[in-house]
Structures are given as C-alpha cells and as structure tokens.
Amino acid sequence: MAQTMVQHTITGTLNSLNPFVWRPDAAPTFGDIDIDNDGAMPTTRAVFDIGAAVAQVIGKQTTQFAKYRVNYIQIELVNRDDAIDNDDGAHFGGTLEFFKPNKHNVDAMQALRLIDREYRKESLASNNPLFSPGGSSNQYTTPRLNWFLVDQNVLPRVAPMQVWQAAGLGDFPSLQTLLSVWNDNLAATAGDYTNEIWSSRTGLTQKMGWNASYINNMDGDEYLPSSTPFVWQAQPGQELEVLAGLMSMTVDHSSVDAPGSNDDDYTVRVTMGISGWEAI
C-alpha cells in the first residue's frame, strides 16, 4: 500500500473535521502555546485520530478497529499571527504516546465492538426498521474511541454509546479506560504472585520524546526566521504500530521567557506518514 501523508494543525475546535485536537480539559489558551516564565509548561495535551485523518485523504471511512503503521512524524511550530508579537523565538518539547497492539488489548477492543453490535441490534428491533444509528453520509457506523475519559468527541457527529454511559464510563468510549478495565478483569488476585512479569497485560503506552523550535526575525536583525521541526523517520520494517490509530502528545516544557518581551504565540502543525493499516 502506498504511503498516505496527513497534515493538520492542532486546534481546540471540536465542531470541525480536524482530527488533531487539543484535549478540552488540558488545552492551551486560545489554542496556541506560549513560552512559560520558568520553562515548566502546564499540562497540555493533544489527541491524534490517525484513522480519521487518513479517511479525509482516501475519501472513505476507516475503522479504529485496526493497527496503523506510522513511518514518519514531523512536529513543527508556526507563528500564530493574531497580533504584532512574533519578535522572539521559542523551544518546546514533550512526549508522544500510543498503545502497541497485543493479544489482550485487541481482545478488549473486539469485546467493545461486540457490545456495540448487540446494542445496535436491540435498537433496530425496538425502533423503526429503517432506523440506523450513524446512518448519515458523514457519520461513522462503528464506535469511535477517545484517548481519555473526558467529554472529548474526537471526531464530531459520533453518537455516545448508551451502554458505555450506563456502565459509568463516560459519554464516549475511552481507549485508556477500556484497556484499564479489561486488564483489571484479567488480573490475578492481589498477593497470588510475588514474581510478576508485567504490570499490565493490555500494555503500557509506548513513548517518544520530541522537541521543536522557531526563531523569529527581531527588528534590526539581518537573518530570516527559521524553523527547526522535530522529525522522526522509521527504518525499513520498524514502523510504529499504533492501536486504534490513536496517539497522544504532551507539551510539557519550553524555553524561558525573555525579560521585557511579549510572548510569541505558536500553533503546532503535525505531519504523519502512514504506510498502511490492518484490521484487528
């Protein structure tokens, strides 16, 4: 399969079709990131729905019940030109996180899909035979998962699962919550073993650090603004396997604010290369 390239600027708007969004309860002010006075950023997170981004490129629905192979990632800072304040530079860094598929987390997702199918059968039986949840042309007909258990509908127009709500697990299925609950159901009774070989059968998140910088042209300087993005390129056969196509990004540190200057405002643009995906 040919590589699919996707690029989006991370936004805080949930009523758009941008599948790269800031987590609502940990979003930067106005959707842009600013230099911190002491360099320690407050908790700031974004969530990438890679499958939804690919769908916009190929023009048809893609499922989250798959593993997506990522072979290229670029994170770049871009000036947010909403005021005359881009007169300095900044360096930001953080972490990318994702779940790698294994037997147990795949089983957990299959169980979620089975629950959803049974729920839809019941809905069809109790309503007009022509009723079909998510039947509109731009709605998904399978469950869509968030990364976190917050009211964050990553891709708009996805109906909440009532069975998920009834279980007290929030409005929308959360990948982290699903895998945590599934792991708890698999876990041995506390104290049964003293030589555990894992802390989670459904897997811990895989992590990759990133950092990027941007230097603006201040008055009187003779050099052009320059961007130094974070770029990761997989070696052949070493692509990242991303469960459900969901990836989380933190921005947790920055350069220190220069005395006497206005903070520059930056948006974050992410580019990914997807070499393929397989259903799980």
Predicted TM-score (pTM) of this structure? 0.86
Count CB neighbours of 234 within 10 A.
Answer: 15
pLDDT tens-digit series, residues 125-181: 555 555 554 445 556 666 778 887 665 555 544 566 666 777 666 666 789 888 988
User: Which residues, 6 or more positions from 273, have their beta carbon under 8 angstroms from its beta carbon?
Assistant: 3, 4, 5, 70, 71, 72, 73
Give the mean pLDDT of the chain. 81
Q: Domain coordinates of the chain in residue numbers? A: 4-100+200-279, 103-128+138-185
User: Coil, strand, or helix at residue 48?
Assistant: strand
Dihedrals φ, ψ of 234, to 5°?
A: -70, 145
Count CB neighbours of 109 within 10 A.
Answer: 25
pLDDT tens-digit series, residues 66-109: 999 999 999 999 887 766 666 678 899 999 999 999 999 999 99
Alpha-carbon distance 183 to 99, whole Å?
14
Cα–chain-centroid distance for residue 211?
Answer: 17
pLDDT tens-digit series, residues 225-248: 788 999 999 998 899 999 999 999
Alpha-carbon distance 12 to 44, whole Å?
11
Burial pattern 62-84, b for ≥16 Cβ within 10 A else e, equals bbbbbbbbbbbbbbbbebbeeee
User: Coil, strand, or helix at residue 212?
Assistant: strand
* E strands, 116-225, in order: 206-215
Its sign, for the CA torsion 98, 186, 102, 105, is negative
Length of the chain: 280
Alpha-carbon distance 146 to 249, whole Å?
13
Q: What is the pLDDT of residue 150?
A: 63
190 secondary structure, DSSP code: T
Fold of 4-100+200-279: Jelly Rolls (2.60.120)
Q: How far is CA 174 from CA 66, 83, 150, in A?
A: 16, 37, 8
End-to-end CA distance of the chain: 17
- Provide, rounded to the nearest whole percent, the portion of the chain with pLDDT above 70: 72
- Provide, rounded to the nearest whole percent, the portion of the chain with pLDDT above 90: 37
Question: Tokens 């490129």, residue?
Answer: 57
